[in-house]
Amino acid sequence: MSRARPCEGVPARVAWAVDLLDPQPADRLLEVGGAPGVAAALICERLTTGHLVAVERSATGLRRIADRNAEHVESGRLVLRGCALADLDEPADSIDVAFAVNVNVFWTSTPERELSVLRHLLVSGGRWPSSTGPTSPRAPTCGPGSWTRWPRRCRRPGSP
């Protein structure tokens, strides 16, 4: 199997987003809408005991992630889920960091079910950075097209 080559063809905004995430070797991460798998390749290269769950509702998108990251899937660092975020069934408190870049469910609908799933998955104090609109290293730090909720902490009722 060929090794993921995260340096080749990485869009600047994806490299920038992963650098902002700063995944640590033991982190448990969730990427929402991860096709074509570029961010997954960059993140999985940094993981040792942690893992990334990539949820992608498109069968074509899921296949692209799997093809690009076959070694990471085989090693267990990358777990693929072919479903919508609202239908994701994973254990509570199993994710430290969840993220999405330009995933339309967050701006084309009222994502109550999706946010409920994220609250269920994220540990108390877990991060949920998300971005809608153009993102790049030159994006403004506030306002449309920025990571305005960076880093957003997920708190459950009654947690500090």
Q: What is the pLDDT of residues 87-103, one digit of tens each?
A: 999 999 999 999 987 78
Length of the chain measured in residues: 160
pLDDT tens, 92-138?
999 999 998 778 887 788 889 999 999 999 999 898 887 655 444 44
- Whether the pLDDT of residue 63 is over 80: the answer is yes
* Domain assignment of residue 27, yes or no: yes
Please indicate, yes or no, if residue 150 is contained in any of the structural domains.
Answer: no
Residue 159 counted as domain residue: no
CA–CA distances in Å: residue 34 to residues 55, 79, 121, 147 = 7, 11, 17, 17
- Express each pLDDT in 78-89 by its tens digit: 999 999 999 999
Between the alpha carbon of residue 94 and those of residues 52, 63, 89, 91, the distances in Å are: 11, 24, 11, 6
Residue 46 domain flag: yes
pTM given for the model: 0.79
Q: For position 57, what pLDDT does the model report? A: 96
Residue 123 is part of which domain span?
A: 12-131
Q: What is the CATH number for 39?
A: 3.40.50.150
Q: Give the count of beta carbons closer than 10 Å to the beta carbon of residue 104.
A: 11
Q: Does the residue 121 lie in any domain?
A: yes
The domain total for the chain is 1
**Adjacent-strand bridge partners of 127:** 97, 153
Q: Is the pLDDT of residue 151 over 70?
A: no
Within a domain: 153:
no
Q: What is the pLDDT of residue 10?
A: 84
Residue 50 has pLDDT above 90, yes or no: yes
